[in-house]
Structure 1
Amino acid sequence: MNSFKPLVFSGVQPTGNLHLGNYLGAIRKFVALQESHDCIYCVVDLHSITAQLVHDDLPAQTRSITAAFLAAGIDPKKHIVFNQSRVMQHAELAWVFNCVARIGWMNRMTQFKDKAGKDRENASLGLLAYPSLMAADILVYRATHVPVGDDQKQHLELTRDIAAKFNNDFSRKIASLGVGVEMQMGEENVSGFFPLTEPLIEGPATRVMSLRDGSKKMSKSDPSDLSRINLTDDADTISKKIKKAKTDPEPLPSELDGLKERPEADNLVGIYAALAERSRQDVIAEFGGQQFSVFKPALADLAVDRLAPIAAEMRRIYADTAYVDSVLRDGGERAGTIAEGTMKTVREIIGLLAD
């Protein structure tokens, strides 16, 4: 019996401009993972309609995310870049998983509670079933690893629960067809058709907060554009936003503990450390005791150095619509071949007649 080959899957929703938090928390990690894994990166346009059905220009948003992937350094020839709706097997497997998952599992999802708010009865069924589609995104490729942030850990745990229940419910059929694959569960070796996908955490977690309020995450939906650095911002805009970022009147502390009750200072130190690929302790060692009038210009220069070239390349790629569409088309064809191989076996396991 074979084992699963390492494969990374991850997706980004095409909703609004990507910002610094998306880059540091996800896209930069996507680029690094190319060196060690086979990767499939998806613009998850079906997910984007779960909470907001009508978008001003979904095609443009999809192309913008794709351009960001490419500008940051993702290679669409060696790996796969595509938009989710091109591969119908995502939705097909999601329906199967809707029948595997339990309503109680979905009701416990923290993100559903947050997005639905107090008016849960008025939330779309798609929003409730969002994690089931996410599980299908991952498992239609039988992906072994997913880079996740704190807000997606619960969904990945649900993906594992769905995979385990499918494997258990159809264990005899999987064995009779000889399509089971060995995997490690704790100290035991078990078999199943779907892997129990593992979270992939590369280095220290990067949680980027608003430049206007250090207690809130940097967000595309914040009404103030000064709260975030967009990946499309030019050098002057990046520098201006850093220099206007909210701070307090005290100098930077000489020890990390001194940042605990200073969210804005803590956020800027974290951004500097992430962009420079250094530890926060290193940053404090260099700038501790200095005023923000010294630190902010240094951070602005660093941010411009790291981000302005990506922004310029992203704008160049986005302007070439034919090229972006060709990347998505080619990626969709390659992804579809893998996904159909999985679904052909799933249909056979379940007993669905399809020629």
Structure 2
Amino acid sequence: MTDTFSERVFSGVQPTGNLTLGNYLGAIKNFVAMQERYDCVYCVVDMHAITLPQDPKALVDATRSVTAAFLASGIDPTRHIVFNQSRVHQHAELAWVFNCVARMGWLNRMTQFKEKAGKDRENASAGLFVYPALMAADILVYRATHVPVGEDQKQHLELTRDIAQKFNNDFSDRIAELGLGVPMEVGRERVHGYFPLTEPVIEGPATRIMSLRDGTKKMSKSDPSDMSRINLTDTADDIARKIRKAKTDPEPLPSEMDGLEGRPEAANLVGIFAALSGRTRQDVLSEFGGRAFSEFKPALSDLAVEALDPVAGEMRRLLADPAYIDGVLAGGADKATAIAGPVMDDVKRIVGLSA
């Protein structure tokens, strides 16, 4: 693909309960690093949260908590945009246009809908089914060129690219007529495209952190057991206790990567150590290979406390001042609207909703 789109990153996090070490290492830590290389838009995607039942008061608190995590981790709202999705109505407007572009077959293939809807798919909300079209709108209303994603979101980003490509193909002549967009080569086709084909960014040695109680399951803020995860608001004592009691196996740590095969809990703890220290997993094994978990866990605990305790302390300070957080979100929404508004105006002209 050839294009001249300006590089911009969009990143979104759902406000559904306490954020965990998995959210921090798999997403937020990378968000902070990206500030130095990209124009960034960081969004608390509260509209996505209501695809499943939510306590309204808890949702407001969770939105502030995610925002506090962003700020406490080092995201700078003066240099980049931090806001919550529902404050910018263009997300919903563009999502409707994309609902009319996306195909039912595409949405039927989304594995996350099947997982979240469970066996009672007929009773799932329509919002949960068309969730990926709203995700596409979140990204493309800013014409974002890059999105940091975990493995579980790659399918949704591929759908975003499909929607962008179909929109560009369907309206190529109109886009050119209005003098919008750029010439693009997609495969053998040459079209005048308005939306970029957004690229995934997968960084760091640990993009997927697993449960401390079951190394085959992703660390989740919705897991019934609080011992399965490290929350960003946990105290130093909480972190140390959870790592000390994390599930392992009786064998010592291997010295080589292939020794982690079939040992999901060991692989998970080594991955966490690598991500927190900014090293590779092999580096960690070279240092701790042959040692028992009784030696490794205290080192991991000290490292986790050193990295997370300052974040937790700053989060607690910020959450004690909700008016400040709300002000950050309001200011970010104004900056987001300044980008999203003209894009939505263009889309309306392209599809014929305005002259």
Match of 1:323 in 2: 324
188 and 283 in structure 1: CA distance in 2 versus 1, 3 angstrom threshold: farther
Q: TM-score, normalised by structure 1?
A: 0.97
Tell me how large the CA RMSD over aligned residues is: 1.6
**CA distance in structure 1 between the aligned counterparts of 2:133 and 2:303, rounded to whole angstroms:** 40
Task: Measure the CA separation in 2 of the matches of 1:157 and 1:96.
Answer: 18
Moved more, 179-188 or 78-87: 179-188
Instruction: Say if 1:42 and 1:84, in contact at 8 Å, map to a contact too.
Output: yes
**Does the C-alpha gap of structure 1 residues 88 and 229 become closer, same or farther in structure 2, counting only changes over 3 Å?**
same
Superposed CA offset, 1:174-211 (max 9, x none) = 11001022345469865301111111122344221111
Determine if contact 1:149/1:205 at 8 Å carries over to the other structure.
no
Q: Deviations over 1:214-253 (max 9, x none)?
A: 1111011111111100000011111111101111111111
CA distance in 1, matches of 2:220, 2:108: 25
Match of 1:178 in 2: 179
Map 1:210-289 onto structure 2 (within 5 A).
210-289=211-290
Structure 1 residue 2 displacement after superposition? 7.7
**Counterpart Cα distance in 1 of 2:188 and 2:168:** 18
Q: Deviations over 1:83-105 (max 9, x none)?
A: 00000000000001111111111
Shift of 1:259: 1.1
Alignment of 1:17-166 (within 5 A): 17-166=18-167
Judged with a 3 Å threshold, the aligned counterparts in structure 2 of structure 1 residues 183 and 200 are, in CA distance, closer, same or farther, namely farther
Question: Could you state the TM-score of these two structures normalised by the residue count of structure 2?
Answer: 0.97
Query: Shift of the alpha carbon at 1:15?
Result: 0.1
Conserved in 1, the CA contact under 8 Å of 2:206 and 2:274? Answer: no
Which residue of structure 2 aligns with residue 5 of structure 1?
6
Residue 65 of structure 1 aligns to a residue in which SS?
A: helix
- The aligned residue for residue 192 of structure 1 is 193
Deviations 1:2-54 (A, max 9, x none): 82100000100000000000000000000000000000000000000012244
Q: CA contact under 8 A between 2:175 and 2:192: conserved in structure 1?
A: no
Cα pair distance change 1:16/1:26, threshold 3 Å: same
Counterpart of 1:100 in 2: which secondary structure?
coil
Among all aligned residue pairs of Structure 1 and Structure 2, give the percentage whose two residues are the same amino acid.
Answer: 72
Is the Cα contact below 8 Å between 2:25 and 2:206 reproduced in 1?
A: no
Letter in 1 for 2:131: Y
Deviates more, 1:46-55 or 1:337-346: 46-55
In structure 1, what is the Cα distance between the partners aligned to 2:38 and 2:186? 21
- With over 3 angstroms needed to count, the CA separation of the structure-2 counterparts of 1:4 and 1:277, relative to structure 1, is same
Deviation of residue 320 (structure 1)? 1.1
Change in Cα spacing, 1:187 to 1:104, as seen in structure 2 (3 Å) is closer
Change (3 A) 1:346 1:72: same
Q: Distance in 2 between matches of 1:227 and 1:56?
A: 25
Stretches of structure 1 that go unaligned for 5 or more consecutive residues are: none
Q: Deviations over 1:125-184 (max 9, x none)?
A: 000000000000001111111011111111111111111111111111111001022345
2-structure distance, mates of 1:220, 1:229 = 9
The amino acid of 2:267's aligned partner reads: D
Query: Contact conserved, 2:168 with 2:191, CA < 8 A, in 1?
Result: no
Q: Give the distance between the partners of 1:194 and 1:270, measured in 2 at CA.
A: 36
How many Å separate the matches in 2 of 1:157 and 1:345?
24
Contact 2:260 2:267 in 1 (8 A): yes
In the alignment, residue 314 of structure 2 is paired with which amino acid?
A: E
Q: Which residue identity is paired with 2:279?
A: R
CA distance in 2: counterparts of 1:40 and 1:235, whole angstroms: 31
